[in-house]
Amino acid sequence: MINLNESAFKRVKEMIDRSDEVGVSAFKAGCGATIVDAGINSRGSYEAGRLFAEACLGGLGSVSFAVDLELSVPSVVVKVANPSVACLASQYAGWALKGEGFYALGSGPARSLYGNEPLYATLGYRERSSVAVLAIESSKFPPDSLLETVAACCKVDISNLYVLIASTNSLAGSIQIVSRVVETALHKLFELGYDVSKVLHGFGTCPIPPLPEDFMTAMGWTNDAVLYGGKVWITLRDEVAVDSLVEKLPSSSSSDYGLPFLDLFKRYNYDFYQVDPMLFSPAVVTVNNLATGHLSSVGRKNAQLLRREWFR
């Protein structure tokens, strides 16, 4: 089995080695951890976003770029091997990071070293590594005390902790968020009680939204890119269980479907946890079941909503 953190570190090292070219800056925090700024004070780039996203996948996926011809915007193309591990054990943002007024959700393979989230018991996956790679979506850098806690939780020397960070309204930040399109489908399956180890391959596309000035708008637009523009293809092998779940996989199966995410967020008084959790999935999900040979496609792309929201 590939070591997620060691594989992710190869992408981190490439970002550092090519920092001028890809528009990132790397520096040592006071505590000794290495911070790679891909979109707070740094301009970032498409390439920085690609490497950021691939690091989040622990080296078990690749990200490339195309054009969404329907919307006339760039899009990501995500290919994932061993999706349950790549998407849930690594890419999923499940580690709540809090300290000294800082709050963010941590993603990336460092989570698999800590392993405190319940999903690790279900997946039966934990990892040991001398290096830890953590990814954070934030407009400010984490305090040293929090980084020291992360290193201790991951059981690595603080000098071997690498933190990728970019704001939501940066190019690299936007790219790494929409590159989670396959992960949203896997997480939906997981939440529905499905054995995600049966998923063999994942493939997804998602438009990259334009970059607004403020964080809140960027948060809404990146969510909408997945909810209304994301398409995912899943290959699995299952005799029976998946058939009853297919209709529940796309975002359109949610009672909260149909509004731009920011409008929905306002409706719930900015309480994220009031939003129907079944909304967070791609617009279209196609499932190829190798056990039966069946190909099922559910959901629909809502280009009209995205066009109305993004083009002004």
pLDDT at 219: 97
The structure's pTM equals 0.97
CA distances from 234 to 103, 190, 284 (A): 33, 14, 11
Specify the CATH number of the domain 4-310.
3.30.1030.10
Q: What's CA 16's distance to the chain center, in Å?
A: 21
Q: Is the pLDDT of residue 50 over 90?
A: yes
Write down the residue that tokens 């409008």 correspond to.
263
Indicate the pLDDT class of residue 288, thresholds 50, 70 and 90: very high
Helix locations, the chain, DSSP H: 4-17, 19-22, 46-56, 83, 110-114, 118-123, 144-154, 171-178, 181-191, 215-229, 261-267, 303-310
Rounded to whole angstroms, how far apart are CA atoms 199 and 81? 9
Domain boundaries, the chain: 4-310
Q: What percent of the chain has pLDDT over 70?
A: 100
Q: What is the mean pLDDT of residues 226-254?
A: 93
Write down the residue that tokens 């006071």 correspond to.
30
Give 143's contacts (C-beta < 8 A, 6+ positions apart).
99, 100, 102
| Bridge partners of residue 28, in order along the sequence | 34
Q: What is the mean pLDDT of residues 70-87?
A: 98
pLDDT tens per residue across span 95-136:
999 999 999 999 999 999 999 999 999 999 999 999 999 999
Q: What is the mean pLDDT of residues 296-308?
A: 97
Q: What is the mean pLDDT of residues 216-229?
A: 98
Q: Is the pLDDT of residue 239 over 80?
A: no
Indicate the pLDDT class of residue 1, thresholds 50, 70 and 90: confident
CA distances from 227 to 4, 171, 282 (A): 28, 19, 5
Of 47-56, 164-173, 272-281, the poorest mean pLDDT is in 272-281
pLDDT at 85: 98
Q: Do 184 and 173 contact (CB within 8 A), yes or no?
A: no
The H-or-E segment that residue 204 falls in is strand 199-207
Half-sphere exposure (CA, 13 Å, Cβ side) for 181? Answer: 35
Rounded to whole angstroms, how far apart are CA atoms 65 and 8? 20
Indicate the pLDDT class of residue 241, thresholds 50, 70 and 90: confident
Give the CA-trace dihedral at 261, 225, 198, 135, to 10 degrees.
Answer: -90
Q: What percent of the chain has pLDDT over 90?
A: 96
